[in-house]
Structure 1
Amino acid sequence: MMSTAHTAQTAAAPPRLVYDDQCGFCTWSVELALRHGEFEPVGFSELSPDQRARLPESYDRCMHLLTDDAAYSCGAAAERTIELALPATRPLFGALRQVPGYARFREGLYRWIGDRRTIWGRYRSASPPASR
């Protein structure tokens, strides 16, 4: 009788979208990402100590994307989320990252939108998005 070694294959955890779960626009944005990609939503109020340790001190100023090997914040998190949810955008973002000043522009645009989130989210629900 031949012995067969079985190796357990573990699927990588889906990236965690960390967001302000009291913000209607933020919640709507996460719901949109969940419709197009595989993410685990984690509201600020639900952060574990380990998750919080991976975030910057002023984590409550923007969204974050936590993967197994990286943590993205603000505009970089939004960009990476779009890339993961809509893979066809990867060449576009790859090209944009080659443009001098793009990262500064991306972060400025993120901040401009974030500073107006009450306007964008005026008619959005503040209920947390459902996990897949």
Structure 2
Amino acid sequence: MSQPTLVFDDDCGFCTWWAEFFDDRTDVRIVGFTDLTAELRERLPEHYEECSHLITEDEVYSCGASLEEGLARIDDEDGVAREAIGFLRNFEDYERLREHGYRWVADNRDFWGQFVSKTPPVRRGLDRES
């Protein structure tokens, strides 16, 4: 796999918003849970549905680390996102706080989805069929 891939819950409007945010701003390919190939599925942790994952050739970043890696890949001229993340990684409690923050947001997706959301891929076209 040569292109980094973000695997996400494609039945969640908030998750879809984030996935498309990365799709528009990075070289990261997005793949929903419902479109996983056998190759991708094999690289994911057992309970992969619990959070998003960014898969590269060498690594699988899960939960908060997946979004952090996506943010670090945003195409910007001066690398501000990557530098900020590099700075934060110097602090002992950063990883714990990152994962705690990710879990808090993920557990409240319905709330955050009121502010940023897109129709999830698995729901697109359903209204037209009814």
TM range (shorter): 0.7 to 0.9
Shift of 1:13: 2.4
Structure 2 counterpart of 1:49:
38
**Given the two structures, how large is their TM-score scaled by the length of structure 1?**
0.82
Shift of 1:90: 1.2
Query: 5 Å matches for 1:1-132?
Result: 13-86=2-75, 87-122=79-114, 123-127=117-121
Structure with more of its chain in helix, by fraction: 2
**Whose Rg is larger?**
1
Shift of 1:124: 2.9
4+ residue segments displaced more than 2 Å = none
Structure 2 letter corresponding to 1:119: F
What CA distance in whole angstroms lies between the structure 2 residues aligned with 1:31 and 1:72? 18
What CA distance in whole angstroms lies between the structure 1 residues aligned with 2:112 and 2:93? 26
CA RMSD of superposed structures (Å)? 1.5
**Given the two structures, how large is their TM-score scaled by the length of structure 2?**
0.84
Instruction: State, as a whole percentage, how many aligned pairs show the same letter.
Output: 41
Larger RCO, structure (CA 8 Å, separation 6 or more): 1
